[in-house]
Amino acid sequence: MDDAIEGRLKALKEKYAASGQELLDFLDGLLEADYLTYWDYIRLDSLLSLQQPRTSHHDESIFIMYHQITELYFKMVLHELDPLIEAAPASQEALTESIRRCNRYFGALEHSFGVMVDGMDRAQFLRFRMALIPASGFQSGQYRMIELGSAKLNDLVHLDQRAAMADEKDVDILLNAIYWLRGATLEKDGQKTLTLVQFEKKYGEVFKKRAQQSRGKTLSDQAKQLFESGHLSDDLKNAFRAFDQYVNVLWPLQHYRSAVRYLAKQPTDARATGGTNWQKYLPPRFQKRIFFPFLWDEKEQEEWGKSFVDRYVSEE
């Protein structure tokens, strides 16, 4: 018998013996097993069966698929972030590599958002959107998990209360002042929208657990520790800054453009979005969400998202 094959068999025998298993049984299994196919490996049939429009409008499928694509990218981002949080403090090498990957994913999302902004018929959108309320991308749990793993919870408090709550430690108090509540309370009476009520019912406890588990270990905590000790490399600093821009300015701005294109100045405006004032809520310069405030100077923070907003929105 070929030396290489004999060597492998010996190694396999040792591997299985270590857990009390018989190599022969596994070889029999190999003889029986079918070849793996591409479609089974990536679960293609399941994947392609997940698009279930609620209307007969052609463009609703585009809307569903692009949301699904985005959620998969969010999952890839969390796939990088979660081990970093668990390993805190992660090494600079691991942080740099993973944050660069996340930036690539968000870069792909930023550049592909035209699929939404320009890629659907507006009249169709306004019609099929009515069959989807009160569902909204606002209810993306993964998007919030990315934020909760990246920023100190105090930095996710709504801008109006952020300075006052800079030293607050109570997770419940902070979550009760989180910025996104403003995006889902009714303009007329300050009541929570059904979108928010359902969102909290599904994810309230999950977010609380995430906030508690990542306390002191978020990307921001890790970046700050390196920054203050003078050890933050330029490469990692640039990667963190790019990540801040992608998640908190560039992606939100592309997203905002789609809201402007489809929803602005429409008589159905409020109805299609459940009664929230998204024009005042969505733009990055109003939210000023910044994961790593210590990596930006005062002027950069003051003008957060502004130059980009001017550039994109003036084109509308």
The separation between the first and the last C-alpha atoms of the chain, rounded to the nearest angstrom, is 72
- Is there binding between residue 248 and ligand HEM (CB under 6 A)? no
The residues pairing with 157 across neighbouring beta strands, listed in sequence order, are 178
Cα 48–chain centre separation = 22
CB of residue 273 to ligand HEM, shortest distance in Å = 3
Q: How many CB atoms are located within 10 Å of the residue 106 CB?
A: 22
Asked if residue 134 has a cis previous peptide bond (ω within 30° of 0), the answer is: yes
- Is there binding between residue 276 and ligand HEM (CB under 6 A)? yes
Binding mask 162-191 toward ligand HEM (x if CB under 6 A, else -) reads ------------------x--x--------
**Span near ligand HEM by CB under 6 A; candidates 50-58, 90-98, 138-146, 295-303:** 138-146
- Is there binding between residue 161 and ligand HEM (CB under 6 A)? no
CB of residue 127 to ligand HEM, shortest distance in Å = 13
Instruction: Judge contact between 259 and 123, C-beta under 8 A.
Output: no
Total residues at the site for ligand HEM (CB under 6 A)? Answer: 22
What gap in Å lies between CA 291 and CA 242, rounded to an integer? 11
- Using alpha carbons, list the distances in angstroms from residue 249 to 29, 106, 217, 232: 53, 11, 23, 23
Binding mask 8-47 toward ligand HEM (x if CB under 6 A, else -) reads ----------------------------------------
- What are the residues binding ligand HEM (CB under 6 A)? 66-67, 70, 116, 136-138, 140, 143, 180, 183, 195, 255, 258-259, 262-263, 273-274, 276, 278, 282
